[in-house]
Structure 1
Amino acid sequence: MSIQESSQGRQVHKFGGSSLADPACYRRVAGLIEQQAGLHPLVVVSAAGKTTNRLLELMELVASGDHAAADALAALQGYQQGLIDGLLDGERRQRLSSQLMTDLQQIGRLLESRLDSYQRHYVLAHGEVWSARLLAALLEERGNQAAWLDAREFLLAEEAALARVDVAVSGQRLTEQLSRLGQQTVVITGFIAADAQGRTLLLGRNGSDYSATLIGALAGAEATTIWSDVAGVYSADPRQVKAARLLERLSLAEANELARLGAPVLHSRTLQPLLASSQRLSLRCSYDPEGGATHILRKQALVKGARIVTSVEQVALIELKILPQVPYAEAVGEIEALLARHQLSPLTAHQQADRKLLRLAYTLETVSGAFALLQDSQLEGGFTALSQREGYSLVGLVGAGVCDNAEQCHRFYRLLADQPLEFVQTGRDGLSLVALIREVTLEPLLLALHESLFDQVHKVGLVLFGKGNIGSQWLGLFARDKARLEAAHPLQFTLYGVFDSRGGVLSEEGLDPARLLEQFEPQAYDWPTLQQQLEQHPFDHLVVLDLTASTELSRRYPEFAQLGAHLITANKFAGAAEAEFYQKVKQSFADHQLYWGYNATVGAGLPVQSSIQMLQQSGEKVQGISGIFSGTLSWLFQQYDGTVPFSTLVERAWQRGLTEPDPREDLSGQDVRRKLLILAREAGFELEPEHISLKGLVPPGLKAVKPEQFMERLGELDDILLDELEEAQSQGKVLRYVARLERNGSARVGLEALDPHHVFANLRPCDNIFAIETDCYRLAPLIIQGPGAGREVTAAAVQADLWQVCLAL
C-alpha cells in the first residue's frame, strides 16, 4: 500500500517558533492538534522561541573567544529546561532533561574546535530536535499516541545555495518511517535534512514552512496548515498599516508572486510542493484559531487588480553591463537562467537595453551569493562592470491583473512621484508592480498606498435575465433601494445589463432601471459574444440575477461561476435538476468561492431555506418537511367545497392572474415537486426528481392539447375532483394539495384529505405553509406561513439575496 493510500485524509500542521515560545504556547499547540488535526496527523515544528538565534549567537561568541559564551550556553540550557519543567512530570521530565544535558555537552565539545559548515548546521539543528521531542512527550502525557521523527532520517538533500531535496528517495524513506510508526501523531523536525553522507543540511529561511508542504506532498496529505503568530496574508503588513485586512482567499499565483518579492509571511519554496501535489494550504494564527485564515487556492484569481501592498527594507542592487559585441536579450536570458538554476533569482530585475545595463535587486541575505556567482561567471557570461550597492527599499503591489488596472497604476505612480525613485518594474504575468527606491522610512508611503488603493468603494455590476413580472418588479425595487444598499455597504452598484427572451442591452456606464421600465429596446445577442463581454467586465464583482423560468439559462450556471459571477435566482430548474447537474452547480460556485442564492425559488419572500440552514447550523437534523407550496392550489382548494364546479374556480383564478398563462403548469403539481426537491436537498436528503411520487390534477387526455383547447375542456376536471371531494367529505374532511417529505426520505405530492382543524386546512387565500420537523421540533413542527407567490414578495426575496451577496463581498 502506498503512502498516499495509507495517509488518505491525513493532514500536516506546522507550528513556528513563536507558537512554541513558552509552556503555555506548547499546551495551546497540543490542544490545537487534538482538536483540529484529524486522524493521525503529521506535525512539523520549528525551534522554540529564539532558540536558533541563541545557537547562532553561542557559536559566534565561541569563535570570537568571548567569555560571554558560557553565559549564553547557560541561558540556552535554562530556557530549554524551563520548557521541560513547565510541561512534563516524572519519568518523561527526567528522560528529556537527561537528553538535553547530553546534547549540550556534545555541543560544548564541538565548539572547542573550529566548526565546518556541516558541524554548524548540526549545532543549529538541535532547536528543531528539542521542539519535536518535547511536543511529542507532551502529547503522550496528555493521553495521545505520539512519536517524534528526525527529518534527517528521510529527507535526502544535496548541498547548494538552497539545499536540493531528492523527492523520489525522500518519499520512499518517509513511507518506511510512517509505516514503522503506525497510526499515531508524528511530530517531525522542520528546517533540516541530510546529505548522502548523513551530514546535516539546512533548508534555508522559512525552511520549516517548506518542510511542511514538502512532507505534505511526500505523504499524500490532503491539507497543510501553517500556524504562526498571524492569521495569514493581509492587504499590507498589519504592524505598519493598522487598517490592513486579512485576505481569506489568495490564488496560488498571487501567493507565489508575494513570496518571490520577499514577503516574510510566505516563502517561494514553501509553495513549490503545492504544484506537485493536491494538498490544500492554509495559514492560521495559533494564538487565535478562530480569528480567520488565508486559504491558498489553485483557482485563478477572480478580483482583478492589486490586493496587497508589500515592501522589503534593506535591499541591495547588483548592476552589470553587457559587452557591446554580445546580443543584449540573449545575454540577459542566460544570466537569469544561471541565477534560477542556483535558486538565486532576484526580487526584481530592471533592463535598460539602450545602455546595455541590467540591474538586479536582492535582500541582504541573498545578495552575496548572487554577487559571487555572477563574479565567477563574468568571462563566459558576456558582461562586465559588476557592482553592488546597498541602501534601497522595495515597494510593490501584488494582484492578478494589477498591471492592467489603469486607475491603480496611476495612483501608484502618483504616490511615488516625490520618492527617491530608482526604477519601476512590472512582474511577469502582470501579477505585480514594483518600485525600487533609495532607502527611506517606508511606513508613511505604505499607509498612503493602502488607503489610496484599498479604502475605495468596490464596484458591483448587476446583470438581470428576465424582465417579466418578477424582473420588472425587482427593477422598480432596485431603483428605490439602490441608495440604501450603497449606504449600508462600501459598494457602488451599476445595472450593467438587462435581458429577456427577445435580447438585451449592456452598458458599462450603467442602465437606468426606471427608464427601462418605461422603454426597453433589446438587441439580439448570441451567447458566445455575451459570455466574452461578461468575462471582460470592468467591475470588482459581477452579480447575475436569473428571474426567468428558462431551463436553457439554468444549464449555463456553471459558466457563470467560471466567469467569477455571483448568482441569484428565482429559477427553480437548477435546484430541482438531476442530482449530477445540481451538484455540479453547487461545486462550481463553491470552488470559485462564489455565492449562489436561490431563496426566491421556494416560498417567495418566506424565510424557508434560511430557516433550514439555521436549524442545521445549530446542530439540528431536518427529519421531515411538509406543507402547501402552491399559492394557486392553495386558493383553489380553500374555495372548493362542491358548491361551485372546480373548472369554474380554475377559470376565475386564471382570469385574476392567479395561475400561469397555461393553468396546467399549476395543476400538474410539477412546480410543487420542484419546490419539495429543492427543500429536501437543502435539508441534506439526496433525492432525484423521480424519487418524489407525483399525482397531478390534469387528466391524461388534456396533457398534450393546446392551451386554448385545454381551457375549452376544463369541465373534464369536474367529475374527477368531485369524486375526491365527496370521499373526503364522507369522512368529515377537506381536500388540500400537499407536499410531504417523510423521515425515511420518501416523498410525495398530491391531494390529501385533512381534518378541518388541521393547520394546513385553514389558510388565507393564496398563502403557503411549510412545516419543518427536527428532533426538537417533532411534536410541534416549525411552521412558516404567508404569501408564497406574487411578484412583490418574490422580488423582495431576490433583493434579500442581493443583500447577502453584499455581506460576502
Structure 2
Amino acid sequence: MKVLKFGGTSVGSAKNINNVIDILIANSKSNSIICTVSAVGGITDKLLLAGNLSKNKDILYEDMFHTIKNSHIGIIEELIPKDNQHVIEEVSKKLDDLKNLLDGIFLINELSPKTSDKLVSFGELLSSYIIAETMKSRGLSAALKNSQELIVTNSNFTKAEVDYAVTNKNIQEYFKNAKQKITIIPGFISKSKSGEQTTLGRGGSDFTAAIVAAALQVEQLEIWTDVSGMFTTNPKLVKQAYPIEKLSYQEAMELSHFGAKVLYPPTVQPVLDLNIPIHIKNTLEPEAKGTIISKDVNGTTSPVKGISNINNIALLTLQGNGMVGIPGFSKRLFETLAQEKINVILITQASSEHSICLGIDEQDAAVAKTAIDATFENEIAIHKIDPLIVETGLSIIALVGDNMKNHQGISGKMFSALGKNNINIRAIAQGASEKNISAVILQSDVKKALNTLHEQFFETKTKQLNVFITGVGNVGEKLVEQIKQQKKYLKENLKINLRVTGLSNSRTMVFNDEGIDLNTWKDQLQAGEKASLEGFFNTVKQMNLRNSIFVDVTANSEVANLYADYLRQSIGVVACNKIACSSNFENYSLLKRLSLKYNAPFLFETNVGAGLPIIDTLNNLIASGDKVTSVQAVLSGSLNFVFNNFDDTTKFYDVVKQAAAEGYTEPDPRIDLSGVDVARKILILARESGMELNLEDIINTPFLSESGLKSNTVDDFYQTLIKDESHYQGLYASAKAKNCQLKYVAELNNGKAQVGLKEIPEGHPFYNLKGKDNIVMFYTHRYPEQPMIIKGAGAGADVTASGLFADIIRIGNN
C-alpha cells in the first residue's frame, strides 16, 4: 500500500488533474493507493480573502465567491461527461453552503478561527469530490473518504493537534475493510472530538498524508508537487539551484522549517520513528528522480545539503545592564510569548547575558512588543532594562546538513561570502549539533545572499558560457576580437570561461563544442557549411551546451523571429537587432514571458544607445521601485553625426554619405533619416518603463523632403538629397537664425511618445552634443527636477560590440 499526496498546483487545472489520475492508475497496478489531495491551486487563499471581505462588510466577497464557483464548475465541465449531472448538483450544493456561510460572516461582521476552519475546508472537500467522481466516471475502482471522519483533533482551530490513538484506530478500521483500489481523501481538514471542523495548519495536506501513512505503516509516502524535489535552495531566487537526491529526516525538517515550501514541517514526525521513506515527486515531470527522505543517506558526503530562508521576520531584542547575572528573565520572556501563542523561530543570547534576541513572525511583532513591555514594566521604569527593541523587514537564511559538524570552516565560509557581498548579519544562531547555521539579514538582501551561498557551496568556481554569434560583419567581428582579447582576463578575474562555440554570416556557419579557435576563426568560417537560420538553431539545440547564449548582430527580421525558439530551449538571447523589441507588443511580451518561464536571459542593451547602459539603468530604476514620468533623448548617433557636420558650407548629401561610409547609419540610411530607428528606440524605452505601446503609437514628424520620403530605392533616395538640397539648407538656416542647434529628439511623456527634428536653444543639455553622441534624460519620482542623464557615444562598431559584450558578461555574472 502506498500513500500519495498531491498539492494545489498538481490539482490546479483539468489538465493537471488528468496527470494526477494517470499517475494514480500507474501506481495502482501493483499497490492499493491512498491519495490525499489539496484544494485546487489558489482556492484556499481565495476562500480566506472572501471571508475577510465578508467580515469587513465588503460586498466584493460575492465576486470572489463567483470566482471560486466558476473555477470548480469549469474544471468539472472539462473532466466529467455531461451525463453525470449529479456531480454538478452536489458541487452546487456545497457551493450554496459556502455562499450561505459567507453571507453569515457578512451579517455578523466576524470571522472567528472556528468559522475560518469551516470556511477553508470547502477547498479540499470540493477538490477531493471532483477528483473521485472523475475517476468513477472513467470506470476506475475509486472511492472518496472524508478525512474528517478519520482524523480527530483537539479544538485548537486553524492548527489543531491530532489525537493519534483515536485517529490511528479510525484509519486502520476503515482501510481494513476498504475494497476499492484507489481511495481519495481530502487533506488539511479534520474534526475535533466534539465534532467541530478543524484544520491541521496551512500546508497540512502533507501532514494528513503522513498521518495516514504512519497509521497503516505503508511502504512509502509520496508527496507530489510542482517541483522535482527539495532543491539546494529556492529555485525562484537562485537559477543554479537543483534537486537534492537524498536527505535525512532531520535535514528535511530543518529545510522545511526554514522556508522550503515543498514539505510541511510536521509531515516528517509521524513517519520518522517507523522509518517510512518520503519521496518528493513532480506531477508535471513524473519521470524526474525527485528527493528521497529517509534514515539511510549513505553515499551523500556533501557537508551542506541545502540553503533555506524565512521571510517576514521581526527581531526582538531585550537588553539592559540589570539582566546580567539575574535569573528568571528568559523564563518570563518566553512565558509571555507562549501566553500570546507567538512562535519563536530563532534564539540567540550573548554570553554576557546583557541581551536576548528572538526571531518571530513579523505579523506578531506588535502584540509581542505590547505584551513584553507590560511584563517587564517595573524593570523598564527603573531603567534596569530597556523597552523591547523591534526590528522588522528581516529574513533568516540557514545552511543545513548532517555532515557540517565533521567539516571545519563551514561557518567561516558562510560569513566570509556574505561579508564580501556587503550583506550585513543582524544575528547568528547555531546549535551544538551543527545541523543548522542560521543568520538574520535584511529581507532585501535575501536573493543576493542565497545566490552568494549557493555559488560558494554548490557551484564550480569557474562558470562556462557558450556563445553562438549570428552576423559577424562589422560589429560582429569587433565583438569576436574583444572576446579574444579579454578571454584570459575574464577567466582569471571574473571566473568566467567564455567560449565562442558557433559563428555564422549570411553565407557560411561553423561550430565547435570545445570552442572555436579565435586566432583562425575567419578561415574556419570561410570553410564552414552553408549558412541557414534554421540549421544554426537546430545545431545550437543539438549541441545542448550548458549556459548557451545566442547573440544576434544582424538587422534581420527572420533572425529576430527565432528568439522565441531559442528561449524555449533555455538558450539566452543577446541582441543589438531592434526588430524583436519594437515588433507588436504581443510578441515583445511573449519573449519576456518565455525568458522568465525557461530561465533564459533576454538582453538587448545595445537596442538603445549602443554601448551606453541606458536600458540597464532604466531597469534598475524600475526594479528599485522608481517610476519614470518622462524621457527626453537624442537617440540616433547617425542623425546626431549628420546634423553636427551639416551647415551652410556643406551639402546634406555629402554628410549622409560620410555617415554611411563610417558605419554610423544602417545599410539603408532611410531607416535612420526617416526617424523609424529613433521611434523604435523610444518605443523600447517606453515598454521597458511598463507602457503598452506599438510603433504606430509613436508620433513621427519627418524632416525629409516629400520626394525623399517617397523614394523606392537607396539610390533613388540619395538622388533626392542632391535635388532637395535647398530644403535641408532651409532647416539649417531656420535654426541658425535663432542661435539653435538641430537635433533629432525623442520624447516620452504621460504615456505618449514622439520623435522629430527640434531646434535646440543654447543652454539646453542637448545643445552641445557632439559627434555621434547620444544623451538620455530620465525624469522619475526620485529625479523629478534634475534628471538622471546618460551621455556618450551612441553609434559605431566598437561601442556596439562592447555593449553586446557587457550583456554576455552580465549573464555570466548572474
| TM-score, normalising length: structure 2 | 0.52
**2:744 is matched with which residue?**
737
* 1:716 aligned to which of 698, 704, 723: 723
> Which residue of the partner structure matches residue 516 of structure 1?
521
Q: CA deviation at 1:578?
A: 0.6
CA distance in 2, matches of 1:780, 1:805: 32
* Local SS of the residue matching 2:769: coil
SS in 1 for 2:766: coil
Contact 2:501 2:515 in 1 (8 A): yes
CA drift at 1:618: 2.4
Whole-angstrom distance in 2 between the partners of 1:461 and 1:653: 35
3-state DSSP class of the match of 1:463?
Answer: strand
> How far is 1:602 from its partner?
1.0
> What is the distance in 2 between the residues matched to 1:476 and 1:160?
74
Q: 1:734 to 1:132 in 2, by over 3 A?
A: same
Contact 1:606–1:785 under 8 Å retained in 2: yes
Among residues 548, 571, 585, which one is paired with 2:591 in the alignment? Answer: 585
Matched, 1:536 2:531: no
The one-letter code matched in structure 1 to 2:650 is: V
Q: Find out whether 1:632 has 2:648 as its counterpart.
A: no
CA–CA distance in structure 2, aligned partners of residues 616 and 316 of structure 1: 49
Once the 2 structures are TM-superposed, how far is the Cα of residue 718 of structure 1 from its aligned partner? 2.5
Distance 1:728 1:721 in 2: 11
Change (3 A) 1:363 1:537: closer
Q: How far 1:614 sits from its partner (Å)?
A: 1.8
- 1:636 deviation in Å? 1.9
Q: Do structure 1's residue 465 and structure 2's residue 470 form an aligned pair?
A: yes
Residue 519 of structure 2: SS of its match in structure 1? helix
Cα separation, partners in 2 of 1:206 and 1:543, compared to 1, 3 Å: farther
Contact 2:647 2:732 in 1 (8 A): yes
Distance 1:655 1:797, change over 3 A: closer
Cα distance change, pair 206–625 in 1 and its aligned pair in 2 (3 A): farther
Among 499, 506, 509, the alignment partner of 1:501 is 506
Partner of 1:217: none
Residues 605 and 727 (structure 1), Cα distance of their counterparts in 2 relative to 1, 3 Å cut: same
Alignment partners' CA distance in 2, 1:627 and 1:247: 35
Post-superposition CA distance 1:214-240 (Å, at most 9, x none) = 8xxxxxxxx9999xxxxx5229xxxxx
Counterpart check, 1:748 vs 2:754: yes
Q: Does 1:707 align with 2:723?
A: no
Deviations 1:435-475 (A, max 9, x none): xxxxx99989xx9xx99996474543211111111110011
Contact 2:462/2:496 (<8 A) preserved? yes
Q: How does 1:605-620 map to 2 (within 5 A)?
A: 605-620=611-626
Pairing of 1:96-135 with structure 2 (within 5 A): 130=156, 132-133=158-159
DSSP-derived class of the 2:481 partner: helix
- The residue number in structure 2 matching 1:761 is 767
Q: Equivalent residue for 1:479?
A: 484
Deviations 1:650-676 (A, max 9, x none): 234334443333322221111111111
Which residue in 2 is equivalent to 1:791? 797
Q: Does 1:159 align with 2:159?
A: no
Aligned to 1:513, the other structure's residue is in SS state coil
C-alpha deviations, 1:79-131, integer Å up to 9, x for none?
A: xxxxxxxxxxxx99xxxxxxxxxxxxxxxxxxxxxxxxxxxx99996789758
- Percent identical among aligned pairs is 23
Over 3 Å counting, the alpha-carbon distance change for 1:790 and 1:189 in structure 2 is: closer
| 667, 672, 675: which one aligns with 2:678 | 672
Equivalences for 1:776-787 in 2 at 5 Å? 776-787=782-793
CA deviation map 1:272-327 (0-9, x unaligned): xxxxxxxxxxx97665x6xxx6899xxxxxxxxxxxxxxx999999xxxxxxxxxx
Distance in 2 separating the partners of 1:246 and 1:660: 40
The 8 Å contact of residues 157 and 166 in structure 1, kept in 2 or not, is answered as no
Residues 547 and 570 in structure 1, CA contact (< 8 A), matched pair in contact too: yes
Q: How much has 1:807 moved relative to structure 2?
A: 1.3
| Counterpart secondary structure, 1:159 | helix
Letter in 2 for 1:495: V
Q: How does 1:165-204 map to 2 (within 5 A)?
A: 170=186, 189-190=204-205
Deviation at 1:679, TM superposition (A): 1.0
Judged with a 3 Å threshold, the aligned counterparts in structure 2 of structure 1 residues 755 and 205 are, in CA distance, closer, same or farther, namely farther
User: Which residue, out of 664, 668, 675, partners 1:662?
Assistant: 668
User: SS state of the match for residue 514, structure 1?
Assistant: coil
Displacement after TM superposition at 1:634 (Å): 0.8
Describe the shift of the 1:204–1:266 C-alpha distance in structure 2 as closer, same or farther (beyond 3 A).
farther
Report what 2:231 is aligned to: 233
Distance in structure 1 (CA, Å) of the matches to 2:496 and 2:741: 52
1:690 corresponds in structure 2 to 696
Q: 1:11 to 1:730 in 2, by over 3 A?
A: farther
Are 2:652 and 1:646 aligned?
yes
How far apart in 2 are the matches of 1:314 and 1:721?
89
**1:637-659 deviation digits (Å, cap 9, x = unpaired):** 22334343433432343344433
Matched, 1:801 2:799: no
CA offset at residue 753 of structure 1?
A: 2.1
Q: Structure 1's 768 and 453: CA in aligned 2 closer, same or farther, altered over 3 A?
A: closer
Q: Deviations over 1:44-70 (max 9, x none)?
A: xxxxxxxxxxxxxxxxxxxxxxxxxxx
Tell me how far apart the structure 2 counterparts of residues 731 and 589 of structure 1 sit (CA, whole Å): 49
The 1:442/1:627 distance shift into structure 2, 3 A limit, reads closer
One-letter amino acid matched to 1:233: F
Equivalent pairs, count = 507
Indicate which of 571, 574, 580 corresponds to 1:568: 574
> Could you tell me how far apart the structure 2 residues matched to 1:172 and 1:294 are?
15
Distance 2:262 2:206 in 1: 23
Residue 568 of structure 1, CA deviation: 1.3
* Distance in 2 (alpha carbons) for counterparts of 1:185 and 1:727: 79
The secondary structure found in structure 2 opposite 1:714 is helix
Unaligned runs of 5+ in 1: 14-38, 43-90, 93-120, 136-149, 175-179, 215-222, 227-231, 236-243, 271-282, 297-311, 318-339, 349-361, 366-390, 398-439
Tell me the distance in 2 between the aligned counterparts of 1:493 and 1:602.
25
Greater shift, 649-658 or 508-517, is seen at 649-658
Structure 1 residues 132 and 464, CA gap change in structure 2 (3 angstroms): same
Deviation at 1:774, TM superposition (A): 0.5
Task: From 766, 777, 780, give the equivalent of 1:771.
Answer: 777
The 3-state SS of whatever aligns with 1:747 is strand
| Aligned position for 1:70 | none
Aligned CA-pair RMSD: 5.8
- What do the CA deviations read for 1:706-736 (whole angstroms, capped 9, x no partner)? 3233323322342333343444455553322
Q: CA deviation at 1:704?
A: 3.6
Q: CA deviation at 1:793?
A: 1.1
Alpha-carbon distance, 1:134 to partner:
7.7
Q: Please list the CA deviations of residues 327-357 of structure 1 after superposition, one character each: whole Å capped at 9, or x if unmatched.
A: xxxxxxxxxxxxx9xxxx9x99xxxxxxxxx
In structure 1, distance between residues paired with 2:506 and 2:177: 64
What letter matches 1:476 in structure 2?
E
Q: Measure the CA separation in 2 of the matches of 1:157 and 1:699.
A: 91
